[in-house]
Amino acid sequence: MNAAATALVTGLAFWISLPAGAIAQQSAASDQGDAKAPGMLTTRAIKKAPETLTLSVAPYDDSDLNLQLKKEFETLLTARDGISVAPESKAGFLLLFEAKVVPSEDAPYGPSLGSVNAGSSGVDVNVNVWSNTQDSVLGGRQPVPEVGSNLFHINAILRHKSGGEVIWQGDIYHVLSGPETEHIARAMVAPLVEKIGQTVALEPFKID
What domains sit in the chain, N to C, each tagged with a CATH number?
A: 3-205 (3.30.160)
Assess whether pLDDT exceeds 80 at residue 198.
Answer: yes
Distance (Å) of CA 41 to CA 11, 51, 82, 109, 177: 23, 23, 23, 10, 18
pLDDT bin (cut points 50, 70, 90) of residue 141 is very low
Average pLDDT over residues 78-95: 94
pLDDT score recorded for residue 17 = 40
Helices (H), 62-196: 64-78, 181-187, 189-194
For residue 41, which amino acid is it?
Answer: L
Contacts of 18 (CB under 8 A, 6+ apart): none
Measured from the Cβ of residue 18, the count of other Cβ atoms closer than 10 Å reads 14
What's the CA gap between 197 and 208, in Å, rounded? Answer: 25
DSSP 20: H
pLDDT score recorded for residue 5 = 42
Assess whether pLDDT exceeds 50 at residue 192.
Answer: yes
Residue range 15-72, pLDDT digits in tens:
334 344 433 333 333 333 334 678 899 999 999 888 899 999 999 999 999 999 999 9
pLDDT score recorded for residue 181 = 84
Assess whether pLDDT exceeds 80 at residue 82.
Answer: yes
pLDDT bin (cut points 50, 70, 90) of residue 93 is very high
Average pLDDT over residues 167-177: 91
Q: pTM higher than 0.95 for the full model?
A: no
pLDDT score recorded for residue 180 = 77
Measured from the Cβ of residue 31, the count of other Cβ atoms closer than 10 Å reads 9
What's the CA gap between 174 and 185, in Å, rounded? Answer: 8
Q: Among candidates 86, 100, 72, which has minimal Cα distance to 171?
A: 100
Assess whether pLDDT exceeds 50 at residue 159.
Answer: yes
pLDDT score recorded for residue 27 = 36
Assess whether pLDDT exceeds 70 at residue 171.
Answer: yes
Residue range 103-119, pLDDT digits in tens:
877 666 544 445 555 55
